[in-house]
Amino acid sequence: MRRIAMTFVAASLILAAARDASAQKPWEDRVYMNIGFGVESGDSTLTDSRPLTIYEETGSVSTTSTFKSGSLFDVGVGWRLWKNLSAGVSYHQEQNDADAIVTGSIPHPIFFNQPRTLSPPVTVSAMERKESAVHAQFGWMVPIGTKFDVLVFAGPSFFRLQQEVISSVTVTEKGAPYSEVAVTDTRVTRKKSSTGYNVGADMTYVVWQNDSVRLGAGAFVRYTTANTTVLMLQTEQPTTVGGLQIGFGGRIRF
């Protein structure tokens, strides 16, 4: 909620300053196109456990993965509908990988009620998390002078998550004195779709223009999010996609 509020406040301040500076100058472009690269902040932790019966005793295994900031690619296009009102669509794709930690309590083959723990925990490297989203964006464009403009926007977002998880864990003995076990994991990729929202601002400075096209450089800040779940060892675990995004790139105006 804090990030949402900060994004709204930043967008409102930018819009207010732009409105005063431009005195509501009309937007004359018909179409805008953006392409950029950036980063997405935020984190999501996925954890699950599963009981297992060995030697007529009950043990358990658990997995945990924490995903943090990643880089993203963003592209968008929009049209002027009426005065400074616009409608557009953008697409972003982001990927980050994280290790999974496997812990467990494994019954002993000889001694009853003396389970062995996985110590140290088993690390499974580079679990992939790929996120993509299509954002519908309704905005208000505020030109400032002849070379600078600010677009403040909001709308629904449609996410697609591809999450690699550990779906099962197999435990085998390493042999006498049976103090250690070997762990084999099975990795699968889960896919889920979810709907959320986006809000933000895009700023453009024109560096070259002629009678029909204007080329520029710009930056954007966007907060977008949605909630979904991912099936792990045996249950659906909640996770959040999206986050606070900041990026830079090229701009085209027709």
What pLDDT, on a 0 to 100 scale, did the predictor assign at position 146?
Answer: 85
CATH number at 147 reads: 2.40.160.20
Q: How far is CA 210 from CA 207, 214, 252, in A?
A: 11, 7, 12
Coil/strand/helix, residue 48:
strand
Q: Is the pLDDT of residue 153 over 50?
A: yes
Q: Which two tokens stand for residue 140?
A: 């208000």
Q: Of residues 219 and 28, which shows the higher confidence score? A: 219
* Bond before 26 cis per omega within 30 degrees: no
Split into its structural domains, the chain has a count of 1
User: How does DSSP assign 79-111, residue by residue?
Assistant: EEEETTEEEEEEEEEEEEEEEEEEEEEE--SSS
Express each pLDDT in 95-150 by its tens digit: 989 999 999 999 999 999 999 999 889 999 989 999 999 999 999 999 988 899 99
Rounded average pLDDT over 69-94: 96
**Choice among 21-25, 146-150, 187-191, 208-212 with the minimum mean pLDDT:** 21-25
Q: What residue numbers bound the domain in which 126 lies?
A: 2-253
Distances (CA, A) of 139 to 74, 160, 173: 17, 24, 61
Between CA 222 and CA 215 the distance in angstroms is 22
Residue 26, pLDDT > 90, answer: no
| 44-54 and 116-117 strand pairing | unpaired
Q: Which of 22, 2, 169 lies closest to 101 in space, CA to CA?
A: 169
